[in-house]
Structure 1
Amino acid sequence: MEYFLHTKAWEDFQKSLGRHVHRQSGPGWSFLAIEEKNPAGKVLYAPYGPVAGSIEAFDAALAALRGLAKSCGAVFVRIEPVGLDPESAPGTLRSRGLQPAPVNQQPELSWIVDLDRDFKEVLAEMKPANRNLYRNIHKKGVTFRATHDPEDIRVLLNFLHMTARRNGFKPQSDEYLTQVAQSLMPAGAATLFIADLHGGPVAAALAYDSADTRTYAHAAMDDTHRKLSAGIPLLVTLMADAQEKGLKHVDLWGVAPADQPDHKWAGFTAFKKSFGGRQIAYPGTWDLPVNRPRYAAYQLARKLRDGIKSLLKRSAS
């Protein structure tokens, strides 16, 4: 499975934001790393990377990342290794001087729907309500379309604002998603799917494509038409379109652990699992200190800040 965050299109998008991007590979390993800024200073971040086929390949990739970090003056390297066994990975990573990052930057668990089979089999694994909506919603006047016009991102932004007001969450900024649209949609690397009711949009979903995988990235719907549940057949349409284009997987992105029913993603997780599929796990986000004194100072400052916030929160309650 190729990760969209490793593609040339994503590299070009990062460059459009003014960031320096590095791509390296060797026998059994590869990574795409982005230079970022945080309170520690410069950081080298490899989203879902490095990808390594063995421990030996991982060690070679880690050496390359360490050398690259030193050459560009990064305080530490932040990685999300792919290819290591998630259960044994913590011991493997700690033994090499890495430590868990404060938070996971990309999901530690994701949900995959495989498309390399007859689409009837894909539909058969979904909840009956999902199948029925996909097959019958046209009777209610709902149609679906795909667009690569970056101006259409305004449809999704409007629905995201509605969802944010309703659920009290903060979506990515309009400026960021507009830049995503302008960089990726004309190149065909991102597609916006829109559900229309009698000619007017009622739901939208933005997806990113790699060579074999479509990633379901952002989605929202019109509050006034929530009872239509148009987001469900819209997602099935996105899957069917991906299969028609020869893609083998749809990555529905982050899900909550099964043993955490109160997790903030629990509702999204139930929605995603209703389409069938399987879970994949990653070792999470880890830091490799390169400038150890500055990294230690960064960790201390972060812990002090978090302690003050916790104290203020308890005082307020």
Structure 2
Amino acid sequence: MDHFLQGRHWAKVQRDLGRSVHEESGEGWRYLAVEESNPAGKLLYVPYGPLADTLEAFDAALASLTRLARACGAVFVRLEPVSAGFTAAEADSVLRSRGLRPAPANLQPELSWIVDLDRDFKDVLADMKPVNRNLYRNIHKKGVKIRSSQDPAEISVLLRFLHLTAARNGFKPQSDEYLSQVARTLMPVGAATLFIAELDGAPIAAALAYDSADTRTYAHAALDDAHRKLSAGIPLLVTLMADAKERGLQHVDLWGVAPADQPDHKWAGFSAFKKSFGGREAAYPGTWDLPVNKLRYGAYQLARKAAQSGKTLVKAVRAKLGR
């Protein structure tokens, strides 16, 4: 699978947001790295990369990233090797043997849910729960129509629903400015598509998808709670998949899901929703750090652990005092 976070269109998104981006490649490997900063100083972030065909190619990519980090003054490289010549099960030993360390937290999901489209679409539908198939085939009988758009101005439809969902569920969505810039960069070149469900001509749900060479990623979705009983989000997602199939894409990535053995995970609800469309789990190695300036990286790690210990102590004291 070719991930959009390592593609040239995403590189342009980052540059349009004012960030410094590096794109390098060699025999069997390539990466997109974004300059960022944290308390340690400058770092290079490689989202879902580097991409490498073999372990030898992965080593060449690491060498290139190390040289780049030194050249631009980065303290470390933060990377997520989803396709690097080894499996997720082998990742811990492979990465530690090369001097990498687990990052404090995963930036991108460690588990994703993939629906494969390299077959007749009726077989894709057959893998879904019956209610999903029926809603897709019959939602028009309830007056709901679904259309797609590549007009960046229509991102406002999704933004409005995201604000409503955030207020209802108490989470903080990505900023309007960020998603609006993503839309302005990606939608005109066909690298992002907005799907809108409408009831009597008025939007009631929307979903934004990003495309790479072979995969469509279901990135953002929200709906108007006033019409929740219509379950428009289900036929909206199936339409997104059918459109991807028509465009010749081979996979739909439904993005992060919770581990199956953690029913109380905060993602459990929408993980069950995603799995109702059929598909398979994809496990990734997670987020890792490659220290380049080892002295400064070590100091950063010590400071971070001290801060965490302080927070834990404060929580324990408050709990004991009943606060």
Residue identity matched to 1:137:
I
**C-alpha deviations, 1:103-144, integer Å up to 9, x for none?**
111111111111111110000000001001101111100000
CA distance in 2, matches of 1:295, 1:238: 43
Residue 85 of structure 1 and its aligned partner are, at CA, apart by 1.1
1:223 aligned partner, one-letter code: D
Residue identity opposite 2:36 in structure 1: E
How far apart, in 1, do the equivalents of 2:316 and 2:202 lie? 47
Q: Equivalent residue for 2:182?
A: 180
Aligned position for 1:55:
55
Return the match for 1:146 from 138, 145, 148.
Answer: 148
Matched residue SS, 2:31 = strand
Distance, in Å, in 2 between the alignment partners of 1:155 and 1:314 is 44
Matched residue SS, 2:61: helix
Instruction: State the 1:308 CA deviation.
Output: 2.5
TM-score normalised by the chain length of structure 2: 0.96
Find the counterpart in structure 1 of residue 308 from structure 2.
306
Q: Deviations over 1:59-105 (max 9, x none)?
A: 11111111110011000001111232111110111111110000111
Change in Cα spacing, 1:178 to 1:313, as seen in structure 2 (3 Å) is farther
Q: Which amino acid aligns with 2:169?
A: N
Look up the SS of the partner of 1:104 in the other structure. coil
Taking the aligned partners of 2:214 and 2:240, their CA distance within structure 1 comes to 14
- Aligned residue type for 1:67: R
Q: Secondary structure at the match of 2:298?
A: helix
In structure 2, how many angstroms separate the alpha carbons of the residues matched to 1:141 and 1:39? 53
1:278 partnered with 2:292? no
SS in 2 for 1:45: strand
Q: Distance in 1 between matches of 2:294 and 2:283?
A: 29
Unaligned regions of 5+ residues in structure 2, if any? none
| Alignment map for 1:107-256 (pairs within 5 Å) | 107-256=109-258
Q: CA deviation at 1:179?
A: 1.0
SS at match of 2:89: coil
- Structural RMSD (CA): 1.0
Give the match for residue 23 of structure 1.
Answer: 23
Number of aligned pairs?
A: 317
Q: CA deviation at 1:263?
A: 1.0
Shift of 1:315: 3.7
Name the SS for the 2:188 alignment partner.
Answer: coil
Give the drift of 1:26.
Answer: 1.5
Q: Secondary structure at the match of 2:124?
A: helix
Letter of the aligned partner of 1:85 in structure 2? T
Identity of aligned residues (%): 72
Gaps of 5+ in 1: none
For 1:88, what is the secondary structure of its paired residue?
helix
TM superposition shift of 1:52: 1.6
d(CA) in 2 for partners of 1:261 and 1:184? 36
